[in-house]
Amino acid sequence: MSARRRFGMLALALLPFVLAVVAIGGVLFLRQGGFAPYRVPHDGSRVVAGGAAMIARGETLAHIGNCAACHTTRGGVPFAGGRAFTTGYGTIYSTNLTPDVQHGLGDWSVEEFAHTMRNGVGRHGVLYPVFPYAHFALLSDADLDALYAYLRSVPASAIARPPNRLTFPASWRPALIAWRMLYYRPAATPSPASTPLDRGRYLVDGLGHCAMCHSTRGKRGSLPPQGYLAGGIIPGIGWYAPPLDSRQLQRYTVEQLADYLRSGTSAAGTAYGPMAEVVYSSLRGISDEDASAIATYLKQVPPHPLRAPSVMAPNTQPAQDSSTSINGADVYKDSCADCHGADGEGKDGKYPPLRDAVAVTAPDPINAVRMILYGGMPPTTAGNPRPHTMPPYVQQLTSAEIAAVVNYLRQTWGARDSQLTGVDIEAMHGIVID
């Protein structure tokens, strides 16, 4: 048998495998949207009327979508980008959305803007999924036009964003096509929002992109449908975001939840950490109707499969932990009970209850530990213009005392088998701000 024939036989034998790989790849490629997302319209010419009413509508939408929060540095020029996002693959900086031609969206047509918002592919290639394009794919044409008109109206700023600092292969944008083939499935365009429930879904899944923090993440930062609003650790900043579903939110009526969204506080809890930012930079300014629509929708979301089992306060006292000489109940009585109440019931609307609080029922203790270490000040809102504050205890309690009191809180009111030690607390030290 000649070498040539032998090669031919080998090729014939491998052919089914090659065909299978091509077929699977082809199917995955089709499922992430085929070629359409990569056809970025470069010659759009449709004119969007930039009247005052249109711009005002776009401003309201940008506010609900909280565009400025990600696309502005601390104290920086609004929408000029540059805020750093830490991921498992390195640091990504947000882009400049102002009308500057060189650094911003100055020469973008509305067609290119809408295409990039919905498909996550723009003139510079595939976008990293820190940009919530899977959510913005749901936006209506009219809303995208209004957002475009508004962004054209803000002052241009010639600020270049710092280059991303990513490891290979994430640093190579075409690798994102493989990520999309594995994890990205374009959603169907929703029907127009006619009822408050539809409006709520549109705001939560579309502009509000709540699932970016409140879902359980899958592999490589993906958002599998089974983890939809099922709660999880927020990538990069480490806070735990609770599930947003009928079980988690049973403590609230629709009215109470809507009021919490706008005021940042409620009889059941007060916004802290990243939610304090969302309230401060977005939700405190949304309309009553939109807040009610969001609450109406969230309260009927069924718990999804990846959700950690929920726990609520049991009626029995937990056994004392014998591994440490520090009694968490004593620490609680000395340092916490004055404000949060002997039974974790909170006080007078000034201090939130701890019974059933996310920080004590969550599968992860990080929120409770951070609040105790560094304290907090709720966001100022029309409904809570002069918030009461939580003192930092990092210098007042030892790590072992903090471990003991967190264990006590989570065992007593969270039914969590919490066995933290001082070493665990020290590993959670560190203020996360950017």
Size of the site for another protein (CB under 8 A): 30
Binding status of residue 331 toward another protein by CB under 8 A? no
Nearest residue (CB) to another protein, 174 versus 385: 385
Backbone phi, then psi, for 232, in 5-degree steps?
A: 170, 175
Binding status of residue 391 toward another protein by CB under 8 A? yes
Tell me how far, at minimum, the Cβ of 240 lies from another protein, in Å: 17
Tell me how far, at minimum, the Cβ of 213 lies from another protein, in Å: 16
Of 111, 198, 277, 424, the one binding another protein by CB under 8 A: 277
Tell me how far, at minimum, the Cβ of 187 lies from another protein, in Å: 32
Of 28, 222, 280, 421, the one binding another protein by CB under 8 A: 280
Distance CA 399, CA 128 (A): 38
Binding status of residue 387 toward another protein by CB under 8 A? yes
Binding status of residue 91 toward another protein by CB under 8 A? no
Binding status of residue 15 toward another protein by CB under 8 A? no
Residues 339-378 within binding reach of another protein (CB under 8 A)? 339, 350, 374-378
Nearest residue (CB) to another protein, 266 versus 361: 266
Of 41, 76, 196, 238, the one binding another protein by CB under 8 A: 76
Q: Are 69 and 130 in contact (CB under 8 A)?
A: no
Of 392, 398, 421, 424, the one binding another protein by CB under 8 A: 392
Tell me how far, at minimum, the Cβ of 54 lies from another protein, in Å: 28
3-state SS, one letter per residue, for the chain: CCHHHHHHHHHHHHHHHHHHHHHHHHHHHHHCCCCHHHCCCCCCCCCCCCCHHHHHHHHHHHHHHCHHHHCCCCCCCCCCCCCEEEECCEEEECCCCCCCCCCCCCCCCHHHHHHHHHHCEECCEECCCCCCHHHHCCCCHHHHHHHHHHHHHCCCCCCCCCCCEECCCCCCCCHHHHHHHHHCCCCCCCCCCCCHHHHHHHHHHHHCCCHHHHCCCCHHHCCCHHHCCCCEECCCCCCEECCCCCCHHHHCCHHHHHHHHHHCECCCCECCHHHHHHHHHCHHHCCHHHHHHHHHHHCCCCCCCCCCCCCCCCCCCCCCCCCCCCCHHHHHHHHCHHHHCCCCCCECCCECCCCCCHHHHCCCCHHHHHHHHHCECCCCECCECCCCCECCCCCCCCHHHHHHHHHHHHHHHCCCCCCCCHHHHHHCCCCCCC
Of 380, 398, 421, 422, the one binding another protein by CB under 8 A: 380
Binding status of residue 1 toward another protein by CB under 8 A? no
Tell me how far, at minimum, the Cβ of 284 lies from another protein, in Å: 9
Nearest residue (CB) to another protein, 43 versus 348: 348
Of 190, 388, 398, 422, the one binding another protein by CB under 8 A: 388
Q: Which long-range contacts (CB under 8 A, 24 or more apart) does 94-97 make?
A: 94/70, 94/161, 95/71, 95/161, 96/71, 96/157, 96/159, 96/160, 96/161, 97/67, 97/71, 97/151, 97/154
Binding piece for another protein, criterion CB under 8 A, among 9-17, 136-144, 188-196, 274-282 = 274-282
Tell me how far, at minimum, the Cβ of 379 lies from another protein, in Å: 4
Nearest residue (CB) to another protein, 262 versus 416: 262
Binding status of residue 433 toward another protein by CB under 8 A? yes
Widest CA span of the chain, in angstroms?
A: 92
Binding status of residue 236 toward another protein by CB under 8 A? no
Binding status of residue 237 toward another protein by CB under 8 A? no
Binding status of residue 426 toward another protein by CB under 8 A? no
x/- map, 311-330, another protein, by CB under 8 A: --------------------
Nearest residue (CB) to another protein, 26 versus 430: 430
Tell me how far, at minimum, the Cβ of 390 lies from another protein, in Å: 6
Nearest residue (CB) to another protein, 45 versus 395: 395
Residues that bind another protein in the complex, under the rule CB under 8 A: 73-76, 276-277, 279-281, 339, 350, 374-380, 385-392, 395-396, 431, 433
